[in-house]
Amino acid sequence: MATVYDFTVKARGGEEVSLKDYEGKVLLIVNTATGCGFTPHYEPLEAMYKDLKDKGFEILDFPCNQFANQAPGDENEIHEFCTMKYGTDFPQFAKLEVNGEGADPLFVYLATEKPFEGFGKGLKVKALEKFTNMNNRAFGDKAYIKWNFTKFLVDREGKVVARFEPTEDMDKVRAAVENIL
């Protein structure tokens, strides 16, 4: 049975990183963007990382520009933005695609393990659904991730245990992380 430890990703500098390096840790894997309405999620993510990293928690940040061109910079510009504006200290990897023919195998796996179940309810959700439906039409059945800041929670054995859409309250995400730590 596959786990996230079976995957290799690219670091910001381009070198290959085996996720086996994170074996035994609780992971929150996130596709991110610097110009998104959800970009302020970096703040509670960083707070969670600072509070919980010594307990075996890691956040793996994967910038993605597939949603309304909201991560247009190169990897160094994105990293500089995140560290200067939000003080992020968790690992940030190379920019990648999460949808379509070029989707990174890690995100295909994550989304297959925990498929999209909806954004919830409310006016904000209706507006987001309009954008996501338009954006994801280009990817057809390979629209694995619906928007930036989708988060996947992985337990210490490398199994995907939860998926949180960007509309999910960050307190709920944190509670789920703390629950499996």
pLDDT tens sequence across 108-138? 999 999 999 988 887 777 777 877 887 778 8
Task: Select from 160, 143, 173, 177 the least CA-distant residue to 38.
Answer: 173
Query: Which of the residues 4, 28, 36, 176 is marked catalytic?
Result: 36
Task: Select from 152, 149, 162 the least CA-distant residue to 41.
Answer: 149
**This prediction's pTM:** 0.93
Task: Select from 41, 37, 39, 4 the least CA-distant residue to 170.
Answer: 41
- Give the residue, 165 or 137, on which the prediction is more confident: 165
Number of structural domains the chain divides into: 1
What is the Cα–Cα distance from 175 to 170, expressed in whole angstroms?
A: 9
Domain that includes residue 80, residue range: 4-180
Task: Select from 91, 48, 89, 64 the least CA-distant residue to 147.
Answer: 64
Query: Are residues 9 and 108 in contact, defined by beta-carbon separation less than 8 angstroms?
Result: no
Average pLDDT, the chain: 93
Verify whether residue 36 is a known catalytic residue.
yes
Question: Which two three-digit tokens encode residue 125?
Answer: 């959700």
Give the CATH number for residue 63: 3.40.30.10
